[in-house]
Amino acid sequence: MNIKRRLPLILLAVLLIVLSFEAGFQFSQSLTHPDTEFAEEFHSLHEAWQNLQQYYVNKTALDPDELSKGAINGLLEALDDPYTSYFESYELAWSAFEGSFEGIGAVVTMEDGELTVVSPIVGTPAAEAGVRAGDKILEINGQSTSGMSLAEAVLNIRGPQGTTVTLLILHQGETTPVEIEIVRERIELKSVYLEMLPDNIAHIRITYFSERTHEELVTALNDTVESGARGIILDLRGNPGGLLDSVVAVASEFLDGGIVLYEADDEGNIIKEWQASSGGLATDLPLAVLVDGGSASGSEVLAGALQDRGRAKLIGTTTYGKGSVCTLQVLSDGSALYITTARWLTPNGHMIEGVGLTPDIEVAMTEEDIESGRDPQLEFAIEYIEGALKLEMLEGVW
């Protein structure tokens, strides 16, 4: 699979917040020597550059690289797509998917011009400091985020390991913002966590999809089988997505072949089918999937496949609704440009983008639950698996 097609949209936000890349797509050569293949409408851009060179009073301010970045920012802003963006270093962009980076560990996006948290990554400084899905980041170190681009916001949030960033955050559903100080860290992210629950029910949590996720899941599933597990709860809450290849490989452990998702254009016309492999380790065990508003992108693809294929029930709350394919284009100077190129559809043709997935069983998590440490969604999933096991026993008797 071409590496350019491996990056789902929502991890663009992960990269931005944890690695903090500023823009890096250089148009300086095009400004000084316009390509004859450029559309006629772009000639005025070249003319503007020529006029600045000739007439602008402060010639030292005419930095082609900086003006190029400004021009690209303008182009991307006009698209009204906060996820199409550009980065200074492709290598840095890719390193996020290897499971190790520096930052605070939260997934962010721009919603209606506001810097918004999609989800804090489990076990990171952002999560431990109380950052939540749906939070609005109003200020970074006292500077308003109003009017900031996503790249600018990230540049202000990032910093050396061990230093502190102060965020002014408005929690979803509240009216008074709070200041949260977060110490930046070097984050080594494990993506799969296994806990054996009573009655030999395996609780497997996937926090995001990296290059290592499938390997980690296989290890967890082997441990699950060796422990005599009778059912699995797959926890995708707060999972912002990741590598699409990894998502499909994970789906293959629960689905014995068949469609995982469709790739479609903006009108819903199918471009490509993504198929699961056969021979998975957990294609028969009773399965429940936990989702919430922080389940986005690749985790929605996986949950949607398991739901549509009748493999599992979704338990929790409606997912985030990020179902766009983003292509990573590597540029000649080592920078990279993300472009939204397609949409994802579930096996039944459900459009994820802007809609999300509706759980089969709606179970909310209240503030009181969070404060008390209670997890009603997990509790219900346990009851569901136990019920499925009892039904299997009755069917065996009959």
pLDDT over threshold 70, residue 27: no
Confirm whether pTM is higher than 0.75: no
261: enclosing H helix or E strand: strand 259-264
Euclidean distance between CA atoms 301 and 66, whole angstroms? 38
pLDDT in tens, 98-139: 666 678 988 787 888 899 987 787 788 999 999 998 999 999
Euclidean distance between CA atoms 281 and 210, whole angstroms? 20
pLDDT over threshold 70, residue 376: yes
Distance of CA 391 to the CA centre of its chain: 36
C-alpha distances out from residue 229 to 28, 141, 323, Å: 60, 48, 33
Euclidean distance between CA atoms 363 and 361, whole angstroms? 6
pLDDT in tens, 75-100: 878 888 867 877 766 765 665 566 66
Q: State the residue for tokens 């840095």.
A: 92
322 is catalytic: yes
| Coil vs helix vs strand at 143 | strand
pLDDT over threshold 50, residue 8: no
The domain 102-188: what is its CATH number? Answer: 2.30.42.10
Euclidean distance between CA atoms 51 and 358, whole angstroms? 54
Q: State the residue for tokens 């991307």.
A: 76
Name the catalytic one among 20, 246, 297, 335.
297
C-alpha distances out from residue 350 to 245, 308, 347, 357, 377, Å: 20, 9, 7, 9, 24
Name the catalytic one among 308, 313, 324, 335.
308
Provide the residue ranges of all domains of the chain, joining segments of one domain with +.
24-84, 102-188, 192-324+339-397
Residue pair 84/326 in contact (Cβ under 8 Å)? The answer is: yes
Residue pair 304/357 in contact (Cβ under 8 Å)? The answer is: yes
Euclidean distance between CA atoms 144 and 137, whole angstroms? 9
Confidence of residue 398 (pLDDT cuts 50, 70, 90): very low
pLDDT the model gives residue 94:
64
pLDDT over threshold 70, residue 34: no
171: enclosing H helix or E strand: none
Mean pLDDT of the chain: 84
pLDDT over threshold 50, residue 253: yes
Q: Find the largest Cα–Cα distance for the chain.
A: 90
pLDDT in tens, 281-323: 999 999 999 999 999 999 999 999 999 999 999 999 999 999 9
Between 71 and 11, name the one with better pLDDT.
71
Euclidean distance between CA atoms 29 and 332, whole angstroms? 12
Name the catalytic one among 69, 136, 313, 322.
322
Average pLDDT over residues 158-173: 90
Strand bridging mode 100-103 / 86-87: unpaired
The domain 192-324+339-397: what is its CATH number? Answer: 3.90.226.10
Residue pair 101/154 in contact (Cβ under 8 Å)? The answer is: no
